[in-house]
Each structure stands twice: as C-alpha cells, then as structure tokens.
C-alpha cells in the first residue's frame, strides 16, 4: 500500500500515521452523553469502501482524507483534510 500525497506525491506507507474513520464528528460542547459515547467508542468498522484520516508525518505533515477499501486496501482518492496543511496550499 502506497499513498499518493497531494503535496508530496507517491510515498511509502511508513511515512504515514493512521487516525481512523473520518465519519465520526466531534459533538458540540454540551452534547448529550449518548452523543459523546457514540463519538468516542462506537465505530461502523466498514468492510469495504471507507473514508479515513491519515497524517503524513514523514513528509509534509498534512492531515489527509483517504478513500480506501478495507477489503482490498485499494485507495481511490486522497485529499487534503481541512486544517493547516490544506490551508497553506489553498486546497
């Protein structure tokens, strides 16, 4: 598995760190206990196409949103995630 970083090009997996599923959204302050529990602990754990956050620590240090298939490891798209790295290049 290699990831094509939108800033650095194709790089080997060892340069990247995995955070996890990009779907859970941090609840707003004052959200109910159920919402926080769901966000922190429960996962869809999809077998198939999923979207997830990776960090390119060994390169541009940008957060990336990677569309990947967990059954085949096939990567269909890599986009900058919203944040400092993406803002810097105007993505």
Partner 1 sequence: MKYSIFSLARAALSGHKNWQRTWRDATPKDHYDVVIIGGGGHGLATAWFLASEYGIKNVAVLEKGWIGSGNAGRNTTIIRSNYGLPGNTGFYELSMKLWERMEQDLNYNAMVSQRGVVNLYHSDAQRDAYARRGNTMRINGIDAELLDLTAVKKMMPFLNFDNARFPVQGGLLQRRGGTARHDAVVWGYAHAASALGVDIIQNCEVTGFVRDANGKVTGVETSRGKIGAGKVGMAVAGSSSRVAAMAGLRLPIESHVLQAFVSEAIKPLLPNVMTFGAGHFYVSQSDKGGLVFGGDIDGYNSYAQRGNMPVMEDVCEGGMALMPMIGRVRLLRQWGGIMDMSMDGSPIIDKSPVDGLYLNAGWCYGGFKATPGSGFVFAHLLARDTPHEEAAKFRLDRFRRGAMIDEKGQGAQPNLH
Instruction: Give the footprint of partner 1 on this chain (CB under 8 A).
Output: 1, 12-14, 17-18, 20-21, 37, 40-47, 50, 52, 54, 68, 70-73
Q: Considering beta carbons, is residue 19 or 89 the nearer one to partner 1?
A: 19
Take residue 38 and report the two structure tokens written for it. 């769901």
Instruction: From residue 32, give the alpha-carbon distance in Å to each of 46, 50, 53.
Output: 25, 27, 25
Q: Considering beta carbons, is residue 37 or 76 the nearer one to partner 1?
A: 37
Max CA distance (Å), the chain:
42
Q: Considering beta carbons, is residue 20 or 88 the nearer one to partner 1?
A: 20
């Amino acid at each position: 598995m290699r990831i094509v970083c939108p800033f650095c090009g194709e790089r080997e997996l060892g340069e990247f760190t995995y955070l996890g599923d990009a779907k859970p959204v941090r609840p707003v302050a004052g959200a109910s206990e159920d919402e926080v529990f769901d966000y922190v602990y429960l996962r869809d754990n999809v077998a198939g196409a999923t979207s997830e956050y990776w960090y390119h620590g060994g390169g541009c240090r940008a957060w990336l949103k990677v569309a990947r298939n967990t059954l085949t490891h096939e990567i269909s798209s890599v986009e900058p995630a919203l944040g400092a790295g993406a803002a810097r290049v105007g993505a």
